Structure 1
Amino acid sequence: MDRNASSLQFFLDRAEAVVSQEKRTRLGSHALRQRVRRYNANRIQEALNTVYASHASRLHPAWRLAQTLSRSR
C-alpha cells in the first residue's frame, strides 16, 4: 500500500503544480481551466485505479466486471 500511496501523492502533487502554474502565469481562460481540470481528474483517477487494482480481490465483483469491460473496448 505504501507504494500506491506514494503514487497517489505524486499525482496529487503534480495536479497541484499544474494549478499553481496556471495561477502564476495568470492565464485564466475557460479553456485552460477546463484542460487543467481534465488533466487533474485523469491523473487522480489513474492513481486511484492503481490503488484499487492492488486490492481488487477485496473489491466488489461489479467493479471488477466494469474494469474488464472498459479494458475490452
Structure 2
Amino acid sequence: MNDLDCRRFVELVTAFLESALAPEQEQEFVDHLARCDGCDRYLDQIRQTTQALDGLPGEALSPEIRATLLDAFRHRPR
C-alpha cells in the first residue's frame, strides 16, 4: 500500500465524500486523515462549505459566465 500525500488527498476529497473511492483507496485516505491534522481541517472545511451551499437555489449560469469560469479553472496555475 502506498502512502497518500496531501496533494493526492485533496484531489480525492470529493470522491471520498461521495463514497466513490475503491475500498483500498478509501483506506489509504482514512489512514492519511488519521495522521495529518492539516488534511483533517481541510476535509472539515469542505464539509462545512458543502453544507452551507447545499441550501442555496440552483440558478443556472449564463453560457458566457459558465465558459469564463471553466476557462479560469482550466488555466489556473498549479
Report the TM range for the smaller structure's normalisation. 0.3 to 0.5
Q: Which has the higher contact order (CA 8 A, sep 6+)?
A: 1
TM-score by length of 2: 0.32
Question: Normalized against structure 1, the TM-score is what?
Answer: 0.33
